[in-house]
Structure 1
Amino acid sequence: MARRYLSGEARPGVSFSPALAAEIRAELPRVADDVVRAIIEGVPSYADAFSGPMGETIRTAVQVALGGFVSLASGRRGVDLSTPTATAVEGAYQLGRGEARSGRTTDAILAAYRIGARLSWRELSTVAVRHGIDGTALVEFAELVFAFIDELSAASVAGHADELADTGRVRQQRLERLADHLLAGAPSETLTEAAERADWPTPTTLTAVLVPRAQVRPVLGGLPAETIAVDRPELDDLALLLVPDVHERRRGVVQQATRGRGCTLGPPKPWRSCRVSYDRALRALALGLTGDTDDHLVPLLLAADPELVDDLRARVLAPLADLRPATVEKLVETLRAWLLHHGRREEVAAALFVHPQTVRYRMGQLRDRFGDRLEDPDTVLALTLALARS
């Protein structure tokens, strides 16, 4: 429903005689034709639209609006524009909504109103002067004409804005439903239908990005336009962004947009499987890791089944089980460094801040306990995995 756009104060009035009102009404079809032609010439974006059925609709609308104006001007002086023109205002409001649906801007609407107002005033004032209207009344006539046009143009602008807002809300709701389906692992047919309903072009991949709510707007500014932003109840003070097609070389786009903002990036995955990306980002968040999860693959892997890693650790370190805890700690620390530095004693000593002879002594103890198993590839792999969290 259109709203009232003027304050409702009394406007200058001018009383048309029945003869003048009748002549102006007779001119309205011609004026409407002239207005449509002038708009087509003056606003290129209307050229095609007005040449078809819409042109006739606009001609009729112009006649109705001007006819309503003539009715006002034929009534009492000091007429209040806000209530008597409610029908015309509603029509202008719906026109604005229609223009938004057609993809035209308010600049085009306002340009059309300016052209229509100028031409209408020229034609109507010519008729009024021919009927001997005096100078004072002519000025009041002009003010009434342009106040009337101002109200109609304001109504159209409001209709345009409301349509965009409503359309945006509806599309956001559909995108949120699509995100729910994606994260729930819905069937492919359901996902395709939801994407079509949201008018969302399906990408090759989606990357899940967890973003602090205060950072959502600046982050979105650096991401593709079709990024889906949704709130998830499990995220508390974070929002989820599903970013299309930032894989391979284009991953730098999302890395740049999120750098220094406390975000967590999942891996790019086929768009129907983006739950994998979201889950990995959540696991990283639970471990206190931020940034790109690709930089944290080892801790994420080891954290995937902590009990399994604990069991592996207990099994491979069984040869040390009867030693004192303090001794075990030193030997495990040395063994880990030895594995990471491929047995290079000087590097192991530097990493542990001990003398190379200390490394030699401790490794002697370890060899006594493990024997030839320290040369066995399977044992070395198991020890490397088990000690990776140390």
Structure 2
Amino acid sequence: MPVDPAPFPEAVAEAMRADLPAVAERAVEEIIVGVPSYADAFLGPMGRKISTAVELALRGFLQVAADGGNVDAGTPGGPVVEAAYALGRGEARSGRSMDALLAAYRVGARVSWRDMSATAVRAGLDPMSLARFAELVFAYIDRLSAASVAGHADELASSGRARQRLLERLARGLLTGSPHTELAEMAQRAEWAPPRTLTAVLLPEGRVRGALVSLDPRTLVATEDLPGLDAPGELAVLLVPDADGAARGALLRGLAGRRAVVGPARAWWGVQASYGRALRALRLGVAEEDDAPLDTDARLAELVLRADEEALADLRARVLAPLQEVGETAREKLTETLRCWLLHHGRRDQVAAALYVHPQTVRYRMTQLRELYGPGLEDPQAVLELTIALGVAPRPQPAGPA
């Protein structure tokens, strides 16, 4: 029913004001009993501050009651409601849920109603006004509860955003190679427990969310201002904790179908090296089929050989120059035969099996190659250069201008 805006009689309000310190003390005592998790908080100087806050809240309520209760219970305002809002934020900062605080409000409301209504009756408050008084008590507590809940939610949201910014800053510091001491300070501010190792993973930004499901919760994500990327905004970097050794297989399985490039595991503060290798593999066009994750640990030789593509092209041109004396079809067969011969250490049957030809065909082709190269096939330096040149198939060259 509508609340009568008429104020309480001054004599009743004055009697309740006089009893406030005792009511506040009894409310604190019963809150300690009813909400054990607050027992320590009420000890010592902090307990006196909380008792004072309880008394302040009760005085605020009496002011509302004396004014006729004509206050919008859903609209925060005034020092008491602001204090309730701050109390909710403090609970969030302490890592507690709202359960204990709301229970304390309920206990405080019950004690306050019991004691203050008794005082009001002794002071001559009529039954109708007493009923209105009860309504005001619980509306007021609802208002304080709502303010605390809002403060708790706002603190969680703002602290979450703040921590996310700190984690993003840490990720960028790791990718750019900030000094170890600075990284340790950033990790501490972000409340991030450093692992033994980190592994950098490059993948399309749109596939990050699905990948994170199976990864360590400490995994850091970087999506903006990634160093060394020519097309920012399309790729993201995950820095995955402790994905070395046997755990690397689980990481690769979890990244299946996500077109990921996986760097090596490095000490957490040195993950810039892991990111650099994944980035080089991406630039060199090293890739797997069917969107399988590219494990750079399994492609080390190719990465080494392709570290200087121009030098590799020059080496190939020089060591394969003798093959220019034969036609294109024969050149392709002889080149592949020479490659298999080097990789299989001249074992004719293995070379024939790899090429799906008869061993006599291998003998014939090797005779041609010895005629073209002469004693070079017996020279260790020449064999080394041929092995390097033929160890990786050449990348297709872009067409020149028309």
Question: Offset of 1:331 from its aligned partner?
Answer: 0.7
2:134 aligns to what?
A: 142
TM-superposition CA deviations, 1:138-190 (whole Å, max 9, x none): 44333322221122112112212222222222233233333333333333443
For 1:319, which of 318, 322, 338 is the aligned residue? 322
TM-superposition CA deviations, 1:260-279 (whole Å, max 9, x none): 33332211112332211111
Cα 1:172–1:80, aligned 2, differ >3 Å: closer, same or farther?
closer
1:27 aligns to what?
A: 19
State the alpha-carbon separation in 2 of the partners of residues 84 and 318 from structure 1: 85
Equivalent residues of 1:12, 1:79 under 8 A apart: no
2:58 aligns to what?
A: 66
Cα 1:48–1:342, aligned 2, differ >3 Å: closer, same or farther?
same
Equivalent residues of 1:12, 1:143 under 8 A apart: no
| Partner-residue secondary structure (3-state), 1:149 | helix
State the alpha-carbon separation in 2 of the partners of residues 71 and 109 from structure 1: 23
Which amino acid is the alignment partner of residue 223 of structure 1?
L
1:339 aligns to what?
A: 342
For 1:156, which of 148, 152, 159 is the aligned residue? 148
Equivalent runs, 1:119-268 vs 2, <5 Å: 119-131=111-123, 133-233=125-225, 234=229, 235-252=232-249, 254-268=251-265
Equivalent residues of 2:4, 2:68 under 8 A apart: no
State the alpha-carbon separation in 2 of the partners of residues 157 and 253 from structure 1: 41
Equivalent residues of 1:14, 1:141 under 8 A apart: no
Equivalent residues of 1:99, 1:160 under 8 A apart: yes
Question: Offset of 1:75 from its aligned partner?
Answer: 1.4
State the alpha-carbon separation in 1 of the partners of residues 43 and 69 from structure 2: 39
Q: Mind listing any 5+ residue stretches in structure 1 that lack a counterpart?
A: 1-9
Cα 1:182–1:340, aligned 2, differ >3 Å: closer, same or farther?
same
Cα 1:30–1:14, aligned 2, differ >3 Å: closer, same or farther?
farther
TM-superposition CA deviations, 1:208-252 (whole Å, max 9, x none): 122433333343343333332222334422222222333223334
Equivalent residues of 1:11, 1:79 under 8 A apart: no
1:3 aligns to what?
A: none
Cα 1:187–1:36, aligned 2, differ >3 Å: closer, same or farther?
same
Equivalent residues of 2:61, 2:140 under 8 A apart: yes
State the alpha-carbon separation in 1 of the partners of residues 343 and 3 from structure 2: 87
Equivalent residues of 1:230, 1:239 under 8 A apart: yes
Establish whether residue 368 from structure 1 lines up as the match of residue 350 from structure 2: no
Q: Mind listing any 5+ residue stretches in structure 2 that lack a counterpart?
A: 288-292, 394-402
Equivalent residues of 2:12, 2:125 under 8 A apart: no
| Partner-residue secondary structure (3-state), 1:261 | coil
1:6 aligns to what?
A: none
State the alpha-carbon separation in 2 of the partners of residues 188 and 125 from structure 1: 64
Percentage identity across aligned positions? 56
Which amino acid is the alignment partner of residue 259 of structure 1?
A
TM-score by length of 1: 0.86
RMSD of Structure 2 on Structure 1 (CA): 2.8
Which amino acid is the alignment partner of residue 357 of structure 1?
Q
TM-score by length of 2: 0.84
Question: Offset of 1:87 from its aligned partner?
Answer: 1.9
Question: Offset of 1:309 from its aligned partner?
Answer: 1.5
Q: After alignment, is 331-340 or 175-184 more displaced? A: 175-184
Question: Offset of 1:355 from its aligned partner?
Answer: 3.7
Cα 1:107–1:310, aligned 2, differ >3 Å: closer, same or farther?
same
2:310 aligns to what?
A: 307
Question: Offset of 1:306 from its aligned partner?
Answer: 0.8
For 1:295, which of 269, 294, 298 is the aligned residue? 298
| Partner-residue secondary structure (3-state), 1:195 | helix
1:382 aligns to what?
A: 385
State the alpha-carbon separation in 2 of the partners of residues 350 and 160 from structure 1: 71
Q: After alignment, is 248-257 or 313-322 more displaced? A: 248-257
Cα 1:84–1:340, aligned 2, differ >3 Å: closer, same or farther?
closer
